[in-house]
Each structure stands twice: as C-alpha cells, then as structure tokens.
C-alpha cells in the first residue's frame, strides 16, 4: 500500500485495538439482532389499523432527517481528527451506538408506517419497508426442482405451490 | 484504444474487453429471458466454454416472462383546457397490466401524490372506471444510515479521507432506483378498486434523467398483474394534472405486452478447480446478466476477463464464476437463505445458492462485480442531466465471514491494497469506498454475506443504472456513460484481490 495513504487496517495498531474490536463486534451483533426484531415486529402489524396522523409523522420524519445529517456531520468531524486506529474504532463504535438508539426511538414513534414524507423518503423507515418487501418476495417466490438434464446442463421448473409450500397470504 | 493502460500478463487487453462492451450494447436490452438476454447468455456460454480448464455449467430455469411490446399515451380535451395529441412517455411500468392493441380510453382523474406513509386502498376510489394520474415521491435517500464506511481510495488522499468524502457525498442521494425500492405503486390495489390504468409521474428529476427508467424491478406477475401503467416526467405530469383539473380530458393509454408462461432463462456458471490442499474452500466470483443497459450488466464481462486470466495461473482454491439470471424479476427467483446473517438485502444469486448449497457453505468469500466503469451523472443547478465530472464511487462491501475472529479484515485489506496496486501501476483505480453493511447491502453480494461468506462486493449505484439508454440515444444503452479506463482498472483491482485471497489461509478470512 502506498506510504502516503493511511488505512484503518494497516496502521499497525491492531493489537491496541483488540478489546475495542471485540466490543464493536458485540455491538454490531446486538444491533443486527435488534433490527431483525424490529423488522419482524413491524411486518406483523396491520397498517390500516395503525394509521397515524399525517402532519405529526411528516414533522417527525423531517426531524429525523435533520438528525441524520447532524449525526453524519459529527461522525465526519470526529473521524477527520482521529489520531490512530484505536480512536477510529472507538468513534465508529459510538456511531453505531448512536444509530441504534436513534433507530430504536424512531421506530417506537413511527411504528410500521412506511416511506416518504412529502418529498423526502424517510430513510430509516424506508429500510424497514424494503426489508419487508425482500422478505415477502423471497418467502413467496416459487421453489424449483430439476426436471431434466445432467451435471453440465440442468433444466428447472417451479414446484406448484401445493407441492412445494402452502399458499401464503398476499398483501 | 491501443496503447492502453498497464495490464497483468494474461489478462485480456482493454481493447478486447471494450470490444465486448460494444458487442453487449448491440444485443439490445436484456430483460430477463428476453431475446437480447438470451443472446448474451449464449455468448457467455460460448466464451466460457473456450477457456481451458473451465468446467461450464448451465441452469435453464422455466419462468413466466412479461415483455412490453408497444406503449404510448395520448390526450383529447377541449382546446381551451390545453392541447390534444400524443403525450411523451418516460417508459412503461414493468410487469404491470397490459392493454389491447388500441389501448384503453378513459377520463383522466388526478389522485395527487401517492406516499406509502398512511396509504389506504381508498386512495384509488375516485378513479374507479377511469385512468388515474399518480405522482410518486422524489426518490431521495440518505446513506448516512445502514452502512459504515471503513476506508477507501482517492487519488492523493488518505484512506480515511476517502471514506469521509464518500460519507459527505452519500448523505443525500436522489436516484430513480429508490422509487421502486421504497415507494412502488400498488397497482394490484388499483385494479381491485376498478381503476383501468395508471399514469405514474416522476418528481424532482429532469426528463432526461427519468427517461427509459425500467422501474420498479420487483413487480409480481403471477396471475395478478394489476393495472397497465406508464411513467411520465415531472413537467408532463404537471400538464396532465392541469388537464385533469379542467374535467373533460380523455386519455388513451396503450401498453401491449407478451406474457409467456413457460419461458426459459439461463444462469451460466462454472469453476476453475484449484490444486491447493483445501481447494474446496473456494471463492465465488459473481454477478447478474439481465437488465436494461450496458452499465447494469457488464459485470459478466469482468468475470470473463478474470476467468481467462486465472485459467492460466496456478490456483490454490476453486474459483467459481456465477452469472445469475433473475435480477430483474426477483419475485420469481429470489430465495430465502437459511439461517441468514442479518442484512437488509437479497438478490438473484440466492436462487443458485439454494440449489447448490454445498458450494457456498464451504466457500470462504464472495467477490461481486457489478456496474463497471461508471461515470457520475446528475441534474445540475440548471436542471440539466449531465456528467458531474466525477466517477461513481466504487462502493464495495468488504466483510469477513460469519465467524470472524480476526482483528484484521482480510477482505478489506486485500481489496484496498489491490486498488493501490492498480493505481501504482498507472492504471485508473477510480475512487473507492470500503464499507460494512449495517445492515444495508445493495447488490448481488448480499445473499453471499447473509450465507456467512466474507465479501468484496462492488455495487456502484449510478443514477442511470435502470435506464435503458438515454433519451437522445437509447440505442447506446448508456455505453456512452462508461469510462473504459476505469472499467479496466476495476477489473485489474479484482484480479489482484482474488490473487491475494487465493493465497491466504482459510483461517484468515
């Protein structure tokens, strides 16, 4: 790697960061577990029964957008002053913690409402929505079985739903 | 293009790889299972079968194919309310409903803006029996969330600075691709409400930017295609809204399509066997082959160059090359990955993983190559869609495998070192950011990550990614938005990355 370029992984400070690295890993795992839970919970609710006040939601989402920008600015500012890998890892860990807290707070407020407020796509909420779309697509996609061919060329056809899996409720 | 950039011995030249791009542009759009797509996969089979030692495999998958044939829009109204005649259409709404040859005619009813937030089926009631005009939200998204930059490369800047620059650039991104992801219009509900057709209006982007956008690519066909629908630009939407307000505008919406219940499409893949003691702990190099443009589908050309390169070299590990179909018809191809690692992302290679689980479950890492050579385009201050003068960020997820215990992220280090090597050689390394998914993971690398593999997964997201060519020159399929030097530099970087990972110990992943 070129000498003039500093990389987080090549700074030679890996040993110093051992403990912090483990904590980041734990933090990330907790974050993902939490998000999985939040997404699953959101997907099981009935949107129509949880219609929320438009004005309030728009206001909240716009506030959240402002928080996004502020959080990113803070991260950029801190990282630009980081002296070594240890500090970089620490800053990133704090950022993840902040994101978890913000995401948690927002999801409690917004519940499973999805996507845009005015001209701004509420990014956090959109991610929850996108995750649900992906899960639904994968869950409802046909399953396939090989119908002919050999090791080099195989032909596959969808298994009829009643053979491969039970029909699923459509949105 | 002779006298090109430095290369690696045995790697096809930039001239040859660029000639493949020209060939790809000439094949036409490659929507899943379409004639253009079949031409491409057949060509890939031919090319890969000629590589010494490459064990070629093909999976032919039967699916239901929807292909648009013709589409148009016209309006008839009182001259006092506005002009009558043809109306410019941005594109059709893929896998929506279809009309008879002569189209459908109905009163234009403006339903205003559709937003998923607070949406109910009652939204459609006012347009029952008529043709609805629906404006969608501006597709703006912030990458401040969901992914964490951990390093990068920019000419004359530090890794840290590159990551910070990416953060700044990615704070607010407007891209048509987000519309389909986050705010796809529920056409099935429209149909169930008795709406006969829908005109969708883009918001906040120039007509040149929204022209020919194949969006969304997640619409289900099976048995319930919903209303026929077309896209129009922002200004056209304003015109139509004024006409609807006058009360007597009649529009004729035409979208004819062929629906083929037993169409076929091929996933082309194969392996260059390794000779190391643990060669079965392989590497999976992957991409997809279907889509609307050269930038969207040129990853397979990178894979071809790399396969030819590595076929001539000693290899420790089995190198799999997987070019999946189904990226543009995910509802029929995307599969659940068992016991996944948490990620917001999934893609077409999940089909291959599901049907060949033993390969990915023993592999160490996936290297995903998509959208090579992309320059950056956006609407400028004058509202004109134009190049910004920058390259698109080579946004790359560099992650360790599921059970990572190494403090050093081998995948990230191998990749950024490779990018530096490309730059040092005098080739064009572009600008790169290495990221962790937290938990957003765009592109065909996501299922491999979910399946527990380490990843070096590059997925730039230019604003023209889903665009079937520009408004002025659709036949070029956006070949003219690619930089050949950058495209070749990215292939060089992946060649170096694969070499490093091929030589690494399994425990280091």
Q: Which residue has the higher pLDDT, B499 or A63?
A: B499
pLDDT class for A122, splitting at 50, 70, 90? low
Whole-number pLDDT of residue B407: 75
Q: Which residue has the higher pLDDT, B225 or A48?
A: B225
How far is the C-alpha of B232 from the C-alpha of B75, rounded, in Å? 13
What integer is the mean pLDDT of B25-44? 98
**Domain ranges for chain B:** 14-53+273-508, 66-139+175-260
pLDDT class for B161, splitting at 50, 70, 90? confident
Q: Which residue has the higher pLDDT, B342 or B34?
A: B34
pLDDT class for A41, splitting at 50, 70, 90? very low
How far is the C-alpha of B330 from the C-alpha of B285, rounded, in Å? 20
* DSSP-assigned states of every residue in B308-358: HHHHTS--SS-EEEEEES-TT-HHHH--PPSSPPP-B---THHHHHHHSHH
Residue B113 pLDDT greater than 70, yes or no? yes
What integer is the mean pLDDT of B229-233? 98
What integer is the mean pLDDT of B107-120? 91
The two three-digit tokens of residue A89, written as one number? 């890892």
* pLDDT over 70 percentage in chain B: 98
Please check whether residue B407 touches A, CB under 8 A.
yes
Angle between helices A54-80 and A85-110 (to 10 degrees): 180
Q: Which residues of A touch B140 (CB under 8 A)?
A: 119-121
Of A17, A116, A151, the CB nearest to B407: A17
Of B116, B157, B172, the CB nearest to A116: B116
What integer is the mean pLDDT of A101-125? 47
Nearest to B367 by CA among B392, B397, B340: B397
Nearest CA in chain A to B343: A32
Residue A26 pLDDT greater than 60, yes or no? no
Question: Mean pLDDT for chain B?
Answer: 95
Using alpha carbons only, give the angle B301, B307, B310 rounded to the nearest 5 degrees.
Answer: 140
Angle between helices B484-503 and B299-311 (to 10 degrees): 50
Please check whether residue B320 touches A, CB under 8 A.
no
CA distance to partner chain B, nearest, from residue A18 (Å): 7
Q: Are the Cβ atoms of A7 and B138 closer than 8 angstroms?
A: no
Q: Are the Cβ atoms of A113 and B115 closer than 8 angstroms?
A: no
Q: Which residue has the higher pLDDT, A48 or B314?
A: B314
Whole-number pLDDT of residue B279: 98
**Domain ranges for chain A:** 13-140
Residue B160 pLDDT greater than 90, yes or no? no
Q: Are the Cβ atoms of B151 and A9 closer than 8 angstroms?
A: yes
Q: Are the Cβ atoms of B60 and A149 closer than 8 angstroms?
A: yes
Tell me the three-class secondary structure of B230-269, residue by residue.
EEECHHHHHHHHHHHHHCCCEEEEEEEEEEEEEEEEEEEE
pTM: 0.84
Q: Which residues of A touch B424 (CB under 8 A)?
A: 2
Dump pLDDT digits (tens) for B255-277.
999 999 999 999 999 999 999 99
Q: Which CATH class is domain B66-139+175-260?
A: alpha beta
Instruction: Note whether B114 and B136 are within 8 A (CB).
Output: yes
What integer is the mean pLDDT of B419-433? 97
How far is the C-alpha of B494 from the C-alpha of B368, rounded, in Å? 9
Whole-number pLDDT of residue B275: 98
How far is the C-alpha of A39 from the C-alpha of A33, rounded, in Å? 10
The two three-digit tokens of residue B377, written as one number? 């385009």
Nearest to B37 by CA among B300, B352, B261: B300
How far is the C-alpha of B76 from the C-alpha of B220, rounded, in Å? 32
Question: Mean pLDDT for chain A?
Answer: 57
ipTM of the complex: 0.93
Tell me how far the alpha carbon of residue A67 is from its chain's centroid.
Answer: 17
Alpha carbons within 13 angstroms on the beta-carbon side of residue A73 total 7
User: CA torsion sign, B75 to B80 to B82 to B83?
Assistant: positive
CA distance to partner chain B, nearest, from residue A64 (Å): 11
Whole-number pLDDT of residue A31: 43
Kindly state the DSSP code that residue B482 receives in the 8-state scheme.
B
Q: Which of A47-51, A109-113, B464-468 has the highest mean pLDDT?
A: B464-468
Q: Which CATH class is domain B14-53+273-508?
A: alpha beta
Q: Are the Cβ atoms of B407 and A21 closer than 8 angstroms?
A: yes
CA distance to partner chain B, nearest, from residue A66 (Å): 11
The H-or-E segment that residue B272 falls in is: strand B250-272
State the CB neighbour count (10 A cutoff) for residue B282.
Answer: 25
């Amino acid at each position: 790697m070129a000498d003039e370029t500093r990389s987080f992984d090549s700074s030679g400070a890996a040993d110093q960061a051992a403990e912090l690295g483990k904590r980041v890993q734990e933090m990330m795992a907790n974050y993902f577990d939490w998000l999985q839970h939040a997404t699953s919970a959101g997907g099981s609710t009935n949107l129509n029964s949880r219609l929320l006040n438009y004005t309030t939601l728009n206001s909240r989402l716009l506030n959240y957008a402002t928080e996004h920008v502020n959080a990113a600015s803070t991260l950029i500012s801190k990282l630009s002053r980081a002296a070594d890998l240890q500090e970089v890892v620490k800053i990133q860990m704090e950022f993840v913690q902040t994101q978890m807290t913000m995401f948690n707070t927002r999801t409690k407020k917004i519940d499973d409402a999805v996507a845009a407020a005015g001209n701004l796509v509420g990014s956090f909420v959109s991610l929850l929505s996108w995750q649900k779309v992906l899960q639904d697509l994968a869950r409802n996609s046909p399953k396939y079985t090989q119908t002919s061919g050999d090791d080099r060329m195989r032909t596959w056809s969808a298994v009829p739903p009643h053979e491969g899996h039970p029909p699923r409720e459509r949105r | 293009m002779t006298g090109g950039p430095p290369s690696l011995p045995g790697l096809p030249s930039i001239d040859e790889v660029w000639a493949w791009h020209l060939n790809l542009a000439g094949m036409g759009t490659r929507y899943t299972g379409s004639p253009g797509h079949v031409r491409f996969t057949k060509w890939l089979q031919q090319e890969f079968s000629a590589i010494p030692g490459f064990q070629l495999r093909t999976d032919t998958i039967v699916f239901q194919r929807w292909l648009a044939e013709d589409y148009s829009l016209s309006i008839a109204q009182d001259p006092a309310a506005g002009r009558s005649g043809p109306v410019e259409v941005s594109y059709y709404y893929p896998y929506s409903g279809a009309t008879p040859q002569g189209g459908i005619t109905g009163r234009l009813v403006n339903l205003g803006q559709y937003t998923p937030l607070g949406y109910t089926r009652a939204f459609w009631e006012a347009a029952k029996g008529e043709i609805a005009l629906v404006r969608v939200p501006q597709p703006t998204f912030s990458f401040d969330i969901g992914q964490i930059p951990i390093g990068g490369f920019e000419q004359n800047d530090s890794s840290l600075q590159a990551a910070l620059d990416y953060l700044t650039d990615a704070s607010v991104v407007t891209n048509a691709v987000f519309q389909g992801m986050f705010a796809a219009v529920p056409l099935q509900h429209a149909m169930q409400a008795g709406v006969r057709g829908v005109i969708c209006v883009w918001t906040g982007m120039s007509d040149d930017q929204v022209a020919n956008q194949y969006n969304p690519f997640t619409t289900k066909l099976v048995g319930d295609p919903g209303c026929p629908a077309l896209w129009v630009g922002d200004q056209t939407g304003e015109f139509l809204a004024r006409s609807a307000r006058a009360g007597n505008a009649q529009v004729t919406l035409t979208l004819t399509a062929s629906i083929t219940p037993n169409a076929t499409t091929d996933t082309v893949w194969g392996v260059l066997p390794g000779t190391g003691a643990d060669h079965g702990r392989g590497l999976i190099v992957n991409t997809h082959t279907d889509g609307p443009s050269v930038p969207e589908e040129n990853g397979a050309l990178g894979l071809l160059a790399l396969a030819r390169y590595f076929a001539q070299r000693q290899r420790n590990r089995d190198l799999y090359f997987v070019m999946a179909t189904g990226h543009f018809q995910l509802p029929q191809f995307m599969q659940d990955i068992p016991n996944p690692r948490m990620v917001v992302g999934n893609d077409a290679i999940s089909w291959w993983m599901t049907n060949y689980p033993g390969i990915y479950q023993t592999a160490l890492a996936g290297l995903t190559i998509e959208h090579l050579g992309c320059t950056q385009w956006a609407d400028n201050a004058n509202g004109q869609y134009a190049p910004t003068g920058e390259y698109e960020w080579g946004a790359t997820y560099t992650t360790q495998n599921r059970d990572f215990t190494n403090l050093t992220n081998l995948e990230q280090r191998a990749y950024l070192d490779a990018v530096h090597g490309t730059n040092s050689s005098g080739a064009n390394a572009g600008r790169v950011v290495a990221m962790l998914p937290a938990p957003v993971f765009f592109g065909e690398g996501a299922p491999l990550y979910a399946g527990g593999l380490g990843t070096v997964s590059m997925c730039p997201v230019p604003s023209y990614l889903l665009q079937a060519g520009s408004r002025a020159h659709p036949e070029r399929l956006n070949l003219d938005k690619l930089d050949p030097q950058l495209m070749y530099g990215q292939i060089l970087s992946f060649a170096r990355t694969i070499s490093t990972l091929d030589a690494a110990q399994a425990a280091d992943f």
